[in-house]
Chain A
């Protein structure tokens, strides 16, 4: 077992964890932060995407111990004083989700990407989201949502 200290959504946690414990399982089962989901176990689908020090990572292919000393943001930490992040609003307003299972990962990947490139064109957004699969929407409305959020945050 290894002792780790992780700041998740602004709260600092200390736990003893097995070195092999995946970060996504630490978040879901250790911290009960069930907004982060497992979709593929192979880091292809992106349902488990979280922000590590502000950058998107796939929490099904990181160990919890690799998050030791770092800051994690899950979808449950995106709101500010109860207000939705512009990306959450944009997903809602553009019907960029149906079943919603990929949505937290998709939103976090998009938030991270706009920090990197605040003024992307459609093709940029599509390329940037290639690591996040959605089986419901066909992506068109997701791309529109990211464009809307980019307009609001840039």
Chain B
């Protein structure tokens, strides 16, 4: 063991994870081969809605290599619970039974009709073609507004409606602010006369003019697209009762519970392992029918069963992200001070409820007020079933949607009042604070200094020069116009306080656990309940433990992702890992030091209160020569033959940390675009992001998280969108026609940080995994709209493809433009709605 005087937290040390990954030694689930292993392949529905009128797998069973083939009826007794949904957001929420294999009706393209098990994946795939199946196609419903109309086809006929739930929250009296305005959905703003209800009660306030912004925004469906498709290997645990499942997941611990609930196999007989996991972005924060099926078939067949999805299956059967229609109203006085906000959402559930489907929009509900302080806020969210792939968490999960709405509306407000978009934000910011402060929806923000972040972003962008360049280009009628788009955001991280999660409708259990084990040789094992898949926990947790214990990161081994070897934890999602799991490591390591002090006092024959710990050594205060290293203390604790009276041997400490509050990272982004008015092409020239995630453990990893988050946010703004046709066929069913941005499509970023510690935990850390994905979409679209605003354009839907931008320009100039294929689930509905300046 090396003694380590320096501090590792705050240093961008290279990652411990990398050596295996750059040399091809990683342990992906699909690498696993076991004796007797067979491959499982699904027969998936080609229809969005149909009755299965005939199903016969017997011919498939005759094919070479085929071991078994099953229908839903064959296996139904194996899944009493179906695929569980963990979220109940209202008492009236309708939760359909979600069978791993359907028995009567298919409800989306990609729904599972039968399963084949064969000696290898080629044989299994071949055999699918020999399953005899007849469908009676039924009318499908593919967009939410149609789904809520009287007489719509029903996704689940038993319910008599496609409405899954209606959730409402009200703070203050928004109706008073809005009810004298026109119907929601009539996009645009209007300047109101003096009969205004403001939050102030002075006569002067009543004389102020009131502006009401009404907008409709579309959050298109997105495909999360972890580059590693889902994969699972389940097998009967040799030597034990029960089953082991290796699976590409973010949530091995949740999977253990959910697979038990679904199958009835006792929880203590299920071990789940997440080996190396090739990205998740929320899509692997779920327990899928295929994982349940793999366990069920391992049980039925008594042999290891592997499932690996191909990319088309990933796009049809792994959850989609987003999928909202947002009607947003903002009331403000003539100085640009917001008086209130009213939001109505339609949130697309898809055909079934996955683990958290109904709670995604709810978890963003209280974030619509963003970084602005005002009094009146109300929101109504309707969850709607459609005959499409289920939605669930995708990077940001509810918060990017909320941030987009408020940040777009802020720019509209600025335009109506002819104010600078930076200035209107400043006027509505919270004054800096470092103790919990309520937002308009009642959420307690932890600490903000928005002004510092925005000032720094404006400085880095050289904002006044940009406006000057923009003016010159406008005056010169330059075919390439300059756009400057702002987004000042906050997000809710550090999920979370258990009591608060219960309030959201997901039960609770927001804590995280860590064990820090001092080994007899002085090395350290950190067993964490988080489950990384690219975030670098092995490195960051090592840095935390190394600093507390006075060792080096290389002395620390981080264990994770195996329910058989680490304490039962709560996994990785929602930028929770550092602010909850990292803090558990910090506390557990400090508990090791506290116990170590008692042992050291005994060894040094000194009083415990006189023992100091620094640089890996326990010493007697005032007599630094009287000391003992932590490795020797660990050795003594292990031997146990000379410890203080009554002390348990070993130096292993476990801490379960349940945070008192969430954390709220925030920041200011400025996107500078060049928009070619002749082709509609948008180029991001500069992207400035000043983010505040509190103190940083590893700045290199934090910057990497921001880069990737920004890339996915820009992808939503400019490139990506699921397209379904009117029958519910997924047209973007492979990477050939779903536009993942590559290196040429994305810019370099100008990053900087401010540091405002969170009072929610002792390190003050906040989390950073989703910041970029939340901040970027409105910054990009605000920039594009800013570039085109002299033409009267006030809105362009995401993704702002060259075709959409070009069409908006043509429409604004009163020219004819051709129709294009729009997504029937959202795009068509977007296209059918009158948009401010788009028409």
Question: A residues bordering B, Cβ < 8 Å?
Answer: 18, 20-21, 28-29, 32-42, 44-45, 47, 74-76, 78-79, 84, 88, 91-93, 95, 97-104, 107, 122-123, 125-127, 129-143
Contact = CB atoms under 8 A, between A and B. Distances in A.
B24 A135 contact: no
Nearest to A34: B31
A100 B276 contact: yes
A92 B536 CA distance: 12
B759 interface: no
B466 interface: no
Given A93-B14, A99-B227, A136 B122 contact: no
10 A-B pairs with the lowest CB-CB distances in the bound complex, closest first: A35-B24, A101-B278, A100-B21, A99-B534, A138-B711, A138-B707, A98-B534, A75-B24, A44-B735, A34-B31
A127 B277 CA distance: 28
A142 B708 CA distance: 12
Contact of A100 (B30, B534, B734): B534
25 contacts: A21-B122, A28-B31, A29-B33, A37-B30, A39-B228, A42-B736, A45-B227, A45-B735, A92-B22, A95-B700, A95-B704, A99-B227, A100-B26, A100-B278, A101-B226, A107-B22, A126-B744, A127-B743, A127-B744, A132-B742, A135-B225, A135-B227, A137-B708, A138-B709, A141-B707
A121 B14 CA distance: 25
A38 B229 contact: yes
Nearest to A102: B227
Contact of B21 (A29, A103, A130, A133): A103
Contacts of B707: 137-141
Given A100-B22, A101-B228, A125 B743 contact: yes
B227 to A, nearest CB: 5
Interface string B675-704: 000000000000000000000000011011
B25 interface: yes
Contacts of B708: 98, 135-138
A134 B21 CA distance: 14
B15 to A, nearest CB: 7
B743 A130 contact: yes
Interface in B730-748: 734-736, 740, 742-744, 746, 748
A136 B749 contact: no
Given A78-B23, A140-B707, 16 more contacts: A29-B33, A36-B24, A39-B228, A76-B23, A88-B22, A88-B23, A99-B228, A99-B533, A100-B534, A101-B226, A101-B278, A104-B24, A133-B227, A135-B279, A140-B748, A140-B749
Contacts, number: 179
Contacts of B736: 42, 44
Interface in B216-250: 225-229
Nearest to A44: B735
Contacts of B746: 138-140
B304 to A, nearest CB: 15
B312 interface: yes
B18 interface: yes
Contacts of A91: 18, 22
Residue of B23, B28, B700 contacting most chain A CB atoms (<10 Å): B23
Nearest to A89: B22
A40 to B, nearest CB: 4
A21 B122 CA distance: 9
B710 interface: yes
A130 B547 CA distance: 41
A121 to B, nearest CB: 13
Q: How large is the interface on B (under 10, 10 to 19, 20 to 34, 35 or more residues)?
A: 35 or more
Contact of B14 (A78, A95, A122): A95
B17 interface: yes
Contact of A99 (B278, B310, B312): B278
A72 B521 CA distance: 44
B281 interface: yes
A39 B536 CA distance: 21
B24 A34 contact: yes
B19 interface: yes
A120 to B, nearest CB: 12
Given A92-B15, A140-B749, A39 B742 contact: no
A41 B311 contact: yes
Nearest to B21: A100
B746 to A, nearest CB: 6
B488 interface: no
B227 A134 contact: yes
Residue of A20, A42, A123 contacting most chain B CB atoms (<10 Å): A42
Residue of B28, B227, B710, B712 contacting most chain A CB atoms (<10 Å): B227
Given A45-B735, A101-B28, A140-B707, A135 B743 contact: no
B535 interface: yes
Given A134-B227, A143-B743, A99 B279 contact: yes
A113 to B, nearest CB: 11
Residue of A20, A138, A142 contacting most chain B CB atoms (<10 Å): A138
A125 to B, nearest CB: 7
B632 to A, nearest CB: 34
Contacts of A132: 742-743
Interface in B616-657: none
A39 to B, nearest CB: 5
Contact of B18 (A29, A78, A100, A134): A100
B24 A133 contact: no
Given A127-B744, A135-B281, A138-B710, A92 B228 contact: no
A98 B744 contact: no
Nearest to A100: B21
Contact of A39 (B17, B21, B311, B535): B311
Nearest to A105: B227
Residue of B21, B22, B700, B704 contacting most chain A CB atoms (<10 Å): B22
Nearest to B736: A42
A92 B19 contact: yes
A104 B22 CA distance: 6
A150 B772 CA distance: 30
A123 B748 CA distance: 11
Contact of A74 (B19, B24, B228, B703): B24
B207 to A, nearest CB: 49
A79 B742 contact: no
Given A100-B534, A142-B743, A37 B278 contact: yes
Interface in B334-365: none
Contacts of B535: 98
A22 to B, nearest CB: 9
Nearest to A33: B24
Nearest to B311: A40
A88 B703 CA distance: 20
Contact of A35 (B25, B308, B310): B25
A97 B744 contact: no
B742 A129 contact: yes
A131 B736 CA distance: 11
Contacts of B17: 100
B706 to A, nearest CB: 8
Contact of B22 (A29, A84, A141): A84
Contacts of B26: 35, 100-101
Nearest to A101: B278
Contacts of A138: 707-711, 746, 749, 772
A136 B22 contact: no
B67 to A, nearest CB: 17
A130 B744 contact: yes
Contacts of A37: 28, 30, 228, 278
Contacts of B709: 138
Contact of A135 (B22, B226, B308): B226
A15 to B, nearest CB: 15
A45 B223 CA distance: 15
Nearest to A99: B534
B704 A98 contact: yes
